[in-house]
Amino acid sequence: MRRGRKPSKDLSYRDKKIIERLNSSFDTMSQLARKCGISKQRIHQILMRARKLGYVINRPRLLARYHEIPQCEVCSRILQVPEKESLITKRQLSQMLSIDYRICGWHLNQLKVSGIVSKKFATLRSDRLARALQYYRCSSLSPGAVGRKFGYKNFYSLLSYQKKRGTAVERMPNFPMVVVMKRGDQTPLPASISESSS
């Protein structure tokens, strides 16, 4: 006669949560084990038991071989972001699309490998640098003034490095020019503007 508890016919609440995390996140079993405070072997045992009880296990890491870009919802949302918005980080992209950072990065890598998206898209690592480069492209300020505004001592060298990497940091040709004038200065207006104002 066997002693001990009878095996339960379903997973415990904690084990169900672990299976949900395995199915929804890109964590490896060892990473998940550290987060849950148990061993990797115990995660493996829970996984095998869940399979025996009929739970569906769809690990995101194993979905790469079955990934079809035209049918993927995340990939289609990434493709809606125009290429001209290349001066963003992966974190900004994931926040813009309301997608988990790691899932967004994985799908972005799949698009880059397939050649649909440029390899330069969303490669910046610093949010502050991305904002500074975006500001530089759309403003008439010098690199030194933009650097001082965003806290960079030598923004010009960062700018030249990004140009060497092939990042599109050229100024936009149609940005509005803002001219700051002193109170006493008067500039002659063109004839068409002066006639329409009078």
Domain boundaries, the chain: 13-61, 67-114, 127-165
Q: Which two tokens stand for residue 13?
A: 């609440």
- What integer pLDDT is reported at residue 41 of this predicted model? 92
The pLDDT of residue 173 is 62
Per-10-residue mean pLDDT for the chain, 198 residues long?
A: 62 87 77 88 90 79 65 84 74 86 83 83 83 84 86 85 78 51 42 40
Ramachandran sector of residue 124 (left: φ over 0; alpha: ψ -120 to 50; beta: rest): beta
Whole-prediction pTM value?
0.52
Radius of gyration of the chain (CA): 27
For residue 15, give Cα distances in angstroms to 9, 20, 34, 78, 127.
13, 9, 15, 33, 37
pLDDT at 197: 41
Q: CA–CA distance from 3 to each of 6, 7, 45 (Å)?
A: 9, 11, 21
Residue 173, classified by CB atoms within 10 Å of its CB into exposed (0-12), middle (13-18) or buried (19+), is: exposed
> What pLDDT is recorded for position 185?
42
Name beta bridge partners: 124: 89
